[in-house]
Copies of this chain bind each other. A is one copy, B any other.
Amino acid sequence: MFNPLAAKLSSFTDLADGDVAALDALLGAPVTGLAHSDVIREGDRPEQVILLLRGWACRYKVLEDGSRQIVAYLVPGDLCDPHVFILDAMDHSIGLLTDATLAFISREAIVHLTDCCPKIARALWWSTLVDEAVLRHWLVNLGQREAFDRVAHLFCETWDRMRQVGLDAGDALEVPLTQEQLGDTMALTTVHTNRVIQRMRAEGLISVTRKMIRVHDIERLRAMCGYDPTYLHLRRRA
């Protein structure tokens, strides 16, 4: 079975056969979830860690006034917080953006994995540090860039992340998000998100169908928004 976590960690380090086997052992009994359902809710004390195998999920918070901010995307290969058990309770929720397949991994399995395989432990560390770097980058995005560049940056980043796990659709990137979800990510209203998307479409950068945005001209998009992927700390390019 295709193991996106192994693919992702391989982009940081060479994994031995034993390491890959250990990662494959995590995949037993995958679970299917529906778009819009929550995997973990704010306030929960998770006893397991989730590994996303198919589909997209996000971390998000909802404010008193009902507004929502998505603070991270999870794509196949993303493991949420291997060390979450140290904290008392979740300070945010994780929800599915599309239908998805998940593996639930017990606390013990994580401990065992990091104890046995130092390479994997180190690679998980790397992954955690990259997640933090992405958060910082998103903060810069929201704080300093205008709407068009915000969305463009998100697409560029996502393209690199999908490539990392071998999930690029040829020359294009498929973003299975509604414009509302995109807006909740980039802190824009649906209306304004739509106008940005229109503009990208008019420029021939992307094409849009219901619930799916296809990014064709990633090169030009990169040039337009001044994208620099250093912060993703990719080691080995395909």
Contacts and interface: CB of A to CB of B under 8 A. Distances in A.
Interface of A: 59, 61, 63-64, 67-69, 71-72, 81, 83-84, 86-89, 91-92, 122, 125-126, 128-129, 131-133, 135-140, 142-145, 187, 226, 230-231, 233, 235
A126 to B, nearest CB: 5
Given A88-B235, A231-B91, A233-B87, A69 B140 contact: yes
Nearest to A59: B136
Contact of A132 (B89, B131, B187): B131
How many copies, total? Answer: 2
A53 B87 CA distance: 25
Contacts of A133: 87, 91-92
Contacts of A91: 133, 136-137, 230-231, 233
A139 B138 contact: yes
Contact of A144 (B137, B145, B187): B187
Contacts of A135: 132, 135-136, 139
